[in-house]
Every structure is written in C-alpha cells, then in structure tokens.
C-alpha cells in the first residue's frame, strides 16, 4: 500500500469525523463513537482531548456550579456551591448512596444507592439545572454505574450479585445481564480507547480484574494481581496503552496492559490508594490515598494524601498531604481544572485541593461521604462513575 493511499485514508477519516461532529452539534447531543481517536494529528491517540475546559457541551448549559456529595452513612446528598465553598442544600435519598453519576447525555445526575443484599437498592435522579432530586427508581444493589459508549445502555455494577446489568439509560428498565461470577466485589471500570472492551476491578478474594467484551457482552479475561491486594478505581492513560489501577492494600497503583491483560509495573503512592482522577488537561493522574487500609470506619484525621502522577513519565511529581489529617476518597476536578474535589470518607468532610499548589480547604458534610461529582464538566459524553468524560 502506498503512502499516498495511506494519506488519502487519513484525510477521508478526518473529513468523516468533521461531518459527524457537525451533525452532533446540530442536534445538541454529545458525539460518541462517530469520531474515533484516529482523527488526532499524525495518528496519535489522546482519549482526553475533549475533556479540556474549552469543550463544554451544550447539554450542560444552565447547570448550576455545584459539588454533589453522597453521604453513605446518613443516606443523604450534600450540595456545595463550588464558588462559595459552602453547603447550600442537603436532601435524603435511598439507603447507602455510593456515587453521583453523570448520565451519558449529561442531562441527569444519578445517585447510586447501594443497599446490598439486605434491602432494595435504588437510583435517585438529580436535575443539574435546579440541583433538586426527582423520583427514586428501585434497582437492585447499584454500587456503581457506567454507560455503553454509544449511550444505548446504562451499566449497573451490581456488586452483591456479581453481575453487570444493562438497563435503559432513561427509564432504567432491565435489558440484559452480564454475569461476572469470578469477580468478587466488582466495583470500578474504564474503557479501551476504541471502546471495544472495559476492564472492571474486583476488590475482594485477593483482588483482580475482569475484561468484558462490549460487543459480545461477556467476560473474556481474568487477572489476579500479583500482590493480592484490594483494587479500587481504574483509569486509562491518555495514549490508551496502560490502565492505572489503585490498590488500597498495596498503597499504590498497578500498571496494566489492557490488550494482554497483564501487569507491566507498579507505582507506590500513599497509604490506602483509592480514587483516581484525571487532570483537566489530561496530563496528570491524581491518586487519592485514603490514609487507612480499613474498609469500614477508620478513625478520623488519618495520614491521607494525594499523589500526582505524570502520565508521560509514569512517575510521581508531587505529594499533597491533608493538613491535620484526613481520608480523601473519590471525586473529580472542576471544569476549569483549578480545583480537585475529594470526599473525606472517615471525617464527614470534603476537600478542595488547589491543583497548582496542593493547598487544601475543607467543607463539612454528612456521614461517610464517598463518590462525589463536580458539575458541570466538559466532554462529549459521560462514561459514568463520578464523571469519567470522553
């Protein structure tokens, strides 16, 4: 095949992508798979190219600038004004809310109320334009929630029953199930650059990963991590080559080759590595170190911190302690990238880190805050979790 032919194919792909983007803009809907990663200059891949602050979707127009915090221990959601750093509302939801999840179309925020096996779980919608909750929908044990890349299904991560539930993204009516019997404590996920598969973490029974083919809708691979710990959050590198997996018992981040589903490295971070957040420019990974190996209620004011990893060098470039101690857990960055918001799981507070200096401010919330989200955020569509945008 000649270089001229290759150039013609590249130009054709670029033109098709522009056409798709124009069509998506006209309909005010996010562009999903129509524009794949080959449209970047010189054939490079950057899966985070559309999460920068200049890529706000029309779908987020009118959304209040708020931080939504699920208080797992008090069955409530705290609403914080991200400008004043004050709690402006708190309302009750279902039992044990775990994560606040932006919908694929970015028009709804879903509260995943994870009641476990003892009682019924549920999802509570929040209108981001008013900050108010809607009618709760019964759903069995929704520990976490993601979306198929084309937006056709919500993926309910049903931890208690060891399965993924594909549901209508609007009504939450069940569509189909993907059993994951080998994954004890299935919880967090991220998607391949080409959206062909997703990798989910399994936090119990020694710790491992499962690879799910999204087209075939079945598990196609399993990996037990070498240090047999407790994997938590997972995020893909900008070039789409490496999955970073936070491990709470091994106090660091595993590097995983997604294609072969194999370990290729490990980066020590801090005590109780838990949540992972990508910087707004897509160059750094913020690792929330919860300051404890305790799964339930550790004491307050532990040695919590945030580790900053540079994606290009795969190395630690900064370490930000929480003054006076704390328990940073899950969260996200503001639309302008200047603030990193994280829940303080064992301290009934949330932290706002200045992403330039690492300076910290605290806001009191309910009991056991967990997977908070910051809204609005830029991007074409939401993959789920606390705002994994693409």
pLDDT digits (tens, 9 = 90+) for 77-87: 999 999 999 99
Domain count, the chain: 2
Residue 13 reports pLDDT greater than 60: no
Residue 168 reports pLDDT greater than 80: yes
* CA 332 – CA 343 distance, rounded (Å): 10
Residue 333 reports pLDDT greater than 70: yes
pLDDT digits (tens, 9 = 90+) for 253-306: 999 999 999 999 999 999 999 999 999 999 999 999 999 998 777 789 999 999
Instruction: Report pLDDT for 2.
Output: 44
| 334 is a domain residue | yes
Mean pLDDT of 207-226: 97
Parent domain of 312: 273-369
| 310 is a domain residue | yes
Question: Which residues, in sequence order, are CB contacts of 7 under 8 Å at separation 6+?
Answer: none
Instruction: Report pLDDT for 323.
Output: 97
| 112 is a domain residue | no
* Assigned token pair, 372: 């908070």
| 196 is a domain residue | no
| 266 is a domain residue | no
* Residue 5 pLDDT level (bands cut at 50, 70, 90): very low
- DSSP H helical ranges for 77-201: none
> What is the DSSP code (8-state) at residue 299?
P
Give the CA count within 13 Å in the CB-facing half-sphere of 208. Answer: 14
| 17 is a domain residue | yes
* CA 378 – CA 56 distance, rounded (Å): 4
Instruction: Report pLDDT for 120.
Output: 83
Instruction: Report pLDDT for 6.
Output: 46
* CA 348 – CA 325 distance, rounded (Å): 13
Helix (H) or strand (E) holding 17: helix 3-27
**Which of 22-26, 67-71, 93-97, 271-275 has the weakest average pLDDT?**
22-26
Instruction: Report pLDDT for 42.
Output: 54
The pair phi, psi for residue 20, each rounded to 5°, is: -65, -40
For all residues of the chain together, what is the average pLDDT?
90
| 352 is a domain residue | yes
Q: Helix, strand, or coil here: 350?
A: strand
* CA 373 – CA 390 distance, rounded (Å): 16
Looking up residue 327, the CATH number of its domain turns out to be 2.40.10
Instruction: Report pLDDT for 298.
Output: 79
The reported pTM is 0.89
* CA 203 – CA 264 distance, rounded (Å): 19
The pair phi, psi for residue 196, each rounded to 5°, is: -80, -25
Residue 9 reports pLDDT greater than 90: no
* CA 209 – CA 158 distance, rounded (Å): 15
Instruction: Report pLDDT for 119.
Output: 66
Instruction: Report pLDDT for 116.
Output: 65
Q: Which of 29-43, 113-127, 194-208 has the highest mean pLDDT?
A: 194-208
CA 288 to chain CA mean position, Å: 13
Mean pLDDT of 211-238: 96
| 7 is a domain residue | yes
């Amino acid at each position: 095949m000649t270089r001229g032919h290759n150039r013609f194919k590249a130009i054709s792909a670029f033109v098709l992508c522009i056409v798709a983007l124009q069509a998506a803009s006209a309909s005010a809907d996010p562009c999903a798979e129509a524009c794949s990663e080959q449209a970047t200059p010189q054939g490079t891949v950057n899966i985070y190219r559309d999460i920068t602050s200049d890529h706000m979707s029309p779908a987020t127009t009118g959304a209040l600038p708020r931080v939504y915090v699920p208080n797992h221990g008090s069955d409530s959601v705290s609403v914080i004004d991200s400008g004043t750093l004050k709690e402006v509302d708190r309302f009750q939801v279902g039992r044990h809310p775990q994560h606040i999840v932006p919908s694929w179309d970015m028009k709804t925020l879903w509260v995943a109320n994870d009641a476990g096996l003892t009682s019924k779980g549920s999802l509570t919608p929040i209108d981001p334009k008013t900050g108010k909750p809607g009618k709760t929908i019964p759903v069995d044990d929704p520990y976490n929630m993601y979306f198929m890349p084309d937006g056709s299904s919500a993926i309910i991560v049903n931890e208690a029953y060891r399965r993924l539930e594909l549901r209508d993204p609007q009504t939450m009516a069940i569509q189909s199930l993907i059993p994951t019997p080998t994954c004890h404590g299935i919880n967090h996920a991220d998607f391949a650059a080409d959206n062909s598969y997703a990798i989910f973490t399994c936090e119990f029974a020694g710790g491992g990963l499962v690879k799910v083919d999204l087209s075939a809708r079945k598990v196609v691979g399993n990996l037990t991590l070498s240090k047999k710990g407790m994997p938590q959050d997972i995020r893909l590198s900008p070039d789409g080559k490496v999955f970073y997996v936070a491990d709470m018992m091994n106090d660091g981040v595993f590097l995983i080759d997604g294609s072969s589903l194999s370990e290729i490295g490990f980066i020590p971070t801090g005590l109780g590595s838990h949540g992972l957040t990508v910087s707004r420019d897509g160059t750094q990974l913020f690792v929330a170190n919860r300051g404890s190996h305790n799964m339930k209620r550790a004491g307050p004011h532990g040695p919590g911190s945030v580790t900053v990893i540079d994606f290009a060098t795969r190395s630690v470039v900064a370490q930000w302690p929480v003054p006076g101690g704390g328990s940073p857990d899950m969260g996200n960055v503001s639309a302008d990238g200047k603030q990193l918001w994280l829940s303080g799981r064992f301290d009934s507070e949330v932290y706002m880190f200045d992403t330039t200096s690492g300076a910290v401010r605290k806001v009191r919330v309910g009991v056991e805050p967990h997977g908070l989200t910051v809204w609005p955020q830029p991007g074409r569509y939401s993959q789920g979790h606390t705002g994994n945008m693409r």
